[in-house]
Structure 1
Amino acid sequence: MCTSARTRPQLKPLAAALIAALWSLPALSEDTLTVVGSSGDADGLLAKSTRSATKTDTPILETPQSVSVITRKQMDMQNVHSLNDALRYTPGVAAGQWGGVSAFDQFSIRGFNYGSTGFNDQFLDGLRMNNGVVYGFQQVDPFLLEDISVLRGPASVLYGLASPGGVIAMNSKLPVAQSIRHVELEAGNREYQRGSFDFGGKATDDGRILYRIVGTADTKNGQEYGTSARRWALAPSITFLPDDYNKLTLYARAQRDPRMGAQTSLPVEGTAKYNPNGKLPTDAYPGDPHHNTFSRRQAAVGYSAEHFFNNDWSVLLNGRYSENTSKYHATIFGGLHQDDMRTIDRAQAASDEHFNTINLDNQLHGRFSTGEVDHQLLAGMSWDRFNGHANYAGGAASPLDIYDPDYRNPVYGPLQDYQNNRIMNTQTGLYAQDQLSWQKWRGTFGVRHDWSSQRNTNLMDKSDRSRQRDEATTWRAGINYLFDNGVAPYFTWAQSFQPTNSTDRNGRMFDPSRGELYEAGIKYRPTFMDAFFSIAAFNLTQDKTLATDPRFPQAFVQDGKIRSRGVELEARGQVTEQFSVIGAMTWQDVEYTQYSDRDVVGRRPLRIPSRYGSLWVNWQAPEGTAVSGLGAGVGGRFSNGTKGGTMENQFSTAGYGVMDAEVHYDLGHLLQSLKGGRVQLNVDNLTKRDYVTSCFTYAQGCFWGAGRTVVGKVIWDF
């Protein structure tokens, strides 16, 4: 047994009692209040504020941090079907690292890869979405979302354990007073079909009960030969407004993925590098179409309760219980024969995984003044528990000629268990934040203390148990100045805290890694157009990262340090009556400044680009013309490529550029009886570009980018 922590104080009962006491207090004022609670105020491409960055209703212009909000309108316009799709036009985010693989959301923020196990850096409705250990990743269909916020830079003061690169904060579609009657039908290439609906509004005449129910289902063939994916998701919710001081929202979500396509890679030679047999087609599949089981079941129930004592003080209580079950048994790529450069080794991989999570976040909000300084206070407590079981087995599989595959009569060996673990992770955090306003100055200051515990039991050898307890304090400070013309320069400093899940060659678990950010930037919200522009320069470091043990390559040592510094540009909004834009550009210099192998110092981490950007331009025909109701958009994305292989022996992947397009027509301009109808056509990868998104080692292979997709959609709002 390995432990490296001090005894954690028993704070949860005390905090719970405090919240209960606050809840029971009588209202301090008889003023009529309007109970609200939304993630932002975005009706179009531009969100003016977001709760995700500060957990308060703060304008983005006054937030001393890089924040991008992907609105519902942007997701609809670009017809996104995954989180990777939604993040493609966001600065600082390199999305879609696994190309056409849609079972996982794989991306990097400011040079730090995501997809860690146990604790994840994605949040839904302010609560963490935990990942499993092997293939049990949580995923939310984007049709169920109202918006997505990308917080770039450490966010540990508000969210606890997190990567220094930033976090993704998603917000669900929840009840609103406005009537919603929305239906979509889609069809496209690869036999893609999808139906979706979104209904909501007042359940009672007085508007004291609101409801919403959102659902979607789709079926499609995968990019790889012989693979397919199926999904359905349902998210009902109800809000009670018994009086002007209280609001209670109850919600549930069920999502089933009976088939999830393929998630295996292809040989380096034939994708990223030359192969005398030619380039592999993008639909090449190294597995077995008849031996590919990958399914996932997700379910969650939650609540959000808000009570206003008066116009200045309130409490907000959030909680959610989630379950995730995944099953995987497939044939995967295992290396290319160097003698003929066409035969690949293969192996079986199998995993059954189940976990459940409880996530709580309780907040006290208050406003007061000290002299000429106004304060917006936030104090909170969060608690997360992950309880899971995962096994992993492997076995032999017959080789395959990847250039002329014959999937008949494969030969498989028996499966051998490699891993069978039970995991229990918990995190408790206490945090406080003060947002100060004095004349045109704004300051944001926060502090948080976290206690985390990780327990791992090897069920194949129950004497093999490990436990690690960690605690850390993180700080945040930022300041900005608001000019009358909409310019707001800012500076911020922030820290992060992230436990590790690995051990050294002696079985000892490592200390948490720490991150630190220095960032300066300028935000600009013009007074003469509905648009937003920003530039940010940052220097971000993470110490105590893991590196390969030079004496024992199968294990790690904790002596790595990564530095990421760069510049990000963003532009979005309505620049003229007919044209809107979404633009992003990122330059980042990411390198190891410390590593066990000194030859690695100065090298870029694997699968991280140094330059990437995007631009989307949308046009809407003017009213009163012959083409009224017609609109179109075109976008481009590029990356200068990444590094594959190992840190000691790297190779480069080529840069690429991809174009997307959209055209739509509002049918009400054709016939008044068709008002509320809309037809839309989206094409991703318009020029059918073949490109590699990322590579692992030679034995693990590379991923082709997503090929051309063509989707037509009929939308009806009534």
Structure 2
Amino acid sequence: MPDRRAKFAAYLLSGGFIALPFVAHAEEEAAAPIIVNGDRAGYDARDGSSATKTPTPLIDVPQTVVVITRERLDDQALEQLGDALRYVPGVTLGTGEGQRDQITLRGQSTTADFFVDGLRDDAQYYRPLYNIERVEVLKGANAMIFGRGGGGGVINRVTRQADPARAAAGVRGSVDSFGAWSVAADVNQPLSDIAAARIDTIYEHFANHRDVFDGRFIGVSPAVTVQPGDDTRITASYTYDDDSRVTDRGIPSFAGSPLRGYDRTFFGDEDLNHSRVKAHVARARLQHSFSASLTANLTAQYANYDKYYGNILPAAATATKVDVTGYNSTNGRENWIGQANLVWQGDTGPLRHTLLIGAEAAAQDSSSTRADVLFATAGGGTSLRTTVPLARRLALPAAMFAPISRSSTSDATVLSAYIQDQVELGEHVQLIGGLRYDRFRLTSLNRLTRFAARRTDGVWSPRIGLIVKPQANISLYASYAKSFLPQSGDQFGALDESTAALAPERFRNLEAGVKWDLTPGLSFAAAAFRLDRSNTRAADPANPGLFVLTGATRTKGIEAHLNGQITSRWQASLGYSLQDGQIRSTTTAAPAGRRLAQLPRHQFSAWTRYDLLPSLGLGAGVVHQSRQFTTISNAVALPAFTRVDAAVFWDISPKLGLQLNVENLFDSRYWPAAHTDNNIAPGEPLNARLTLRVKF
């Protein structure tokens, strides 16, 4: 295995550079400014290059894209990706078993459709924001640009880069009313006229409203930029993230709703419920302009993830008792990714083209184990499950983890090639058409039964869009796109005889919408969509951790977003989504017509900041989410909720700023997320966070 990886890496770093004049990555990477008190970039974003891999304004991208800027992240005092996504209608959060990011986009649940600077970041862990310039939510089928998965959309984080143009530094510290605190620093230092180094660091201590919860996060992310000439830019970065926390699976349900009266109760074991993740990600990118019309880029990334988590969790409850079970798991993953693209911008007669030609190669090696929990019984034996009386503090019997019951390895190799043309037919009409081919090969081994399987799929993923621009700041568009996902799931577990024979899942997205740049700092977008999924699998409500076939599903809805500067003192971000999703074919898992899981019909969010004075500002936000089912059983529902947030900003001096953020201002009781019918996350009560920012 090491030999194969070494050969693959050598191919990327040598053969890839040899191919540079023919294929390379296109989008320009502006050096991200250091955002500390006084540097205000706004809530509006106009860069759509992540959606096309070409220099494209967001208004000319025929799909819904929501961007959360660094300024908005800072104004809302957000540290984790999941917290930022709560303010994006059309995205719902799962509890992720208390140890990872898990989201639902347009009715499609995923733990793997996450990217950093356009490259896959698919391991299961909580993603921080300390070194992030902006978060992009690209909705709809995205395989043409991002490859497998991405059926409902993808999340792309854009990292900060070193800037040779200036020296700057910032430090911030924060503490909240639960006792959580963090300290972070961001330093950018030019090394010469053509080079600079930057480092982002953070230490977080976790605490919340639950009876048992703590942990800490350490993040370090250095970056280097070298610009040897006007036409060439080289960037390199490394990120080390170390997350250690209590694994909290939430509370069970009773009579079709979250169990009432136990929102603070920890349904686990303080000694066994623990999660630890160490992630190492190294990335290098070379950009070069051969001429004003021809640009190129080559990117290589290596990532290593090492993870353990153990958990005791609620499995069912009555009015007086709760059933408890559990397990632990280890997961290791090593990713090699190389991506290269070439972009040509030019004319053929009356037509203006932006032509993309690209290729991607990736190798992903994964291993995992699982061991079930054993509870002591009265007769001196053990049991995989125990029942105890409900109480504020559960009286659980002694427990330990049994020998390993599952153990597997999987190796995924992907070779991809794609071509896309954006054609301007005069001033008012644009066409975009693209086609991608992925050769996906997965080899897996069940290390206990020695069952080995291999499957290879070759899949075409098209995208086509029409854009009509009655004037330069308005776009009317319609688009169609397809994506796919191999049947081994988004984490590519071991194949069995059934999944080895199944064709990949398919996603087809139809969308029509309007984008309007109202002013240079304020934009509006609205869209209607229909997303069909076939060969579908879903989490089995009766057997958590396993999957069942659900045949075909359909999600349809409308979305609208307003972002940016309303007046010189007033910034706002508003969004609304109306969605409906159903299973369309009767299977053993669910009948046709049953609602999709974690898909509220209505979602609304608003966040706004108004500066009363140059040194004093106020912020306010609201999040509303209507009733949603926890799984496709439709047996348990999370009630609708509305949460109100607020903030005060005080610039004490040009170099010193203080802000107070209050979450859940009116102390609403709510349950925002779930993983199964009996793993439901209680929302946090009123919580205040005080943040001090200093820049040098």
Q: TM-score, normalised by structure 2?
A: 0.89
Paired residues of 2:309 and 2:329 also in contact (CA < 8 A): yes
Paired residues of 1:303 and 1:318 also in contact (CA < 8 A): yes
- CA change 1:139–1:17 in 2 (3 A) is same
- CA change 1:332–1:12 in 2 (3 A) is closer
1:467 is matched with which residue: 445, 454, 459?
Answer: 454
**Structure 2: any 5+ residue segments left out of the alignment?**
1-6, 34-39, 376-385, 490-494
Paired residues of 1:325 and 1:354 also in contact (CA < 8 A): yes
Alignment of 1:66-145 (within 5 A): 66-94=64-92, 96-98=93-95, 103-115=99-111, 120-131=112-123, 137-145=124-132
How far off is 1:280 after superposition? 2.4
- Counterpart of 2:50? 52
Aligned partner of residue 601 in structure 1, secondary structure:
coil
Give CA-to-partner distance per residue, 1:425-477, whole Å, 9 cap, x none: 12211011111123222221111000111121111122x11211111101111
How far off is 1:97 after superposition? 2.7
Would you identify which runs of 4 or more consecutive aligned residues in structure 1 move more than 6 Å? 10-18, 39-42, 502-505, 547-550, 552-557
- Counterpart of 1:211? 197
CA distance in 1 between counterparts of 2:574 and 2:76 reads 14
- Counterpart of 1:525? 517
- Counterpart of 1:5? none
- CA change 1:696–1:110 in 2 (3 A) is same
Paired residues of 1:15 and 1:381 also in contact (CA < 8 A): no
CA distance in 2 between counterparts of 1:253 and 1:15 reads 20
Q: Which amino acid aligns with 2:571?
A: S
How far off is 1:164 after superposition? 1.7
- CA change 1:559–1:97 in 2 (3 A) is closer
- CA change 1:20–1:646 in 2 (3 A) is closer
2:565 is matched with which residue: 574, 588, 601?
Answer: 574
Aligned partner of residue 667 in structure 1, secondary structure:
strand
CA distance in 1 between counterparts of 2:583 and 2:666 reads 36
Give CA-to-partner distance per residue, 1:498-532, whole Å, 9 cap, x none: 111166775644210111111111111124x6210
Are residue 455 (structure 1) and residue 433 (structure 2) matched?
Answer: no
CA distance in 2 between counterparts of 1:288 and 1:313 reads 59
Alignment of 1:655-670 (within 5 A): 655-668=640-653
CA distance in 2 between counterparts of 1:554 and 1:138 reads 17
2:529 is matched with which residue: 531, 538, 552?
Answer: 538
**Structure 1: any 5+ residue segments left out of the alignment?**
1-9, 26-33, 132-136, 623-627, 669-674
CA distance in 1 between counterparts of 2:544 and 2:120 reads 33
Q: Which amino acid aligns with 2:371?
A: A
- CA change 1:304–1:226 in 2 (3 A) is same
- CA change 1:676–1:270 in 2 (3 A) is farther
Aligned partner of residue 86 in structure 1, secondary structure:
helix
Aligned Cα root-mean-square deviation (Å):
2.9
- CA change 1:393–1:35 in 2 (3 A) is closer
Aligned partner of residue 265 in structure 1, secondary structure:
coil
How far off is 1:191 after superposition? 1.4
CA distance in 2 between counterparts of 1:332 and 1:548 reads 17
CA distance in 2 between counterparts of 1:598 and 1:354 reads 31
- CA change 1:414–1:478 in 2 (3 A) is closer
Q: Which amino acid aligns with 2:336?
A: I
How far off is 1:189 after superposition? 1.8
2:609 is matched with which residue: 613, 618, 641?
Answer: 618
- CA change 1:660–1:270 in 2 (3 A) is farther
CA distance in 2 between counterparts of 1:85 and 1:69 reads 14
Paired residues of 1:40 and 1:47 also in contact (CA < 8 A): no
- CA change 1:598–1:146 in 2 (3 A) is closer
Aligned partner of residue 59 in structure 2, secondary structure:
helix
2:338 is matched with which residue: 348, 357, 360?
Answer: 360
Paired residues of 1:235 and 1:252 also in contact (CA < 8 A): yes
- CA change 1:574–1:548 in 2 (3 A) is closer
Paired residues of 1:485 and 1:526 also in contact (CA < 8 A): no
- Counterpart of 2:492? none
CA distance in 2 between counterparts of 1:56 and 1:202 reads 28
How far off is 1:179 after superposition? 2.6
Paired residues of 1:644 and 1:696 also in contact (CA < 8 A): yes
Are residue 583 (structure 1) and residue 574 (structure 2) matched?
Answer: yes
CA distance in 2 between counterparts of 1:557 and 1:504 reads 13
- Counterpart of 1:417? 404
Alignment of 1:476-555 (within 5 A): 476-484=463-471, 486-501=473-488, 506=498, 508-527=500-519, 530-546=521-537
- Counterpart of 1:680? 659
- Counterpart of 1:439? 427
How far off is 1:102 after superposition? 6.4
Identity over the aligned pairs, expressed in percent?
23
How far off is 1:223 after superposition? 3.6
CA distance in 1 between counterparts of 2:551 and 2:273 reads 38
How far off is 1:40 after superposition? 8.9
- Counterpart of 1:31? none
Are residue 313 (structure 1) and residue 298 (structure 2) matched?
Answer: no
How far off is 1:704 after superposition? 1.4
1:327 is matched with which residue: 308, 312, 315?
Answer: 308
How far off is 1:245 after superposition? 2.3
Q: Which amino acid aligns with 1:180?
A: A
1:430 is matched with which residue: 417, 429, 454?
Answer: 417
- CA change 1:24–1:442 in 2 (3 A) is closer
- CA change 1:113–1:707 in 2 (3 A) is farther
Are residue 563 (structure 1) and residue 554 (structure 2) matched?
Answer: yes
Paired residues of 1:304 and 1:316 also in contact (CA < 8 A): yes
1:161 is matched with which residue: 148, 167, 170?
Answer: 148
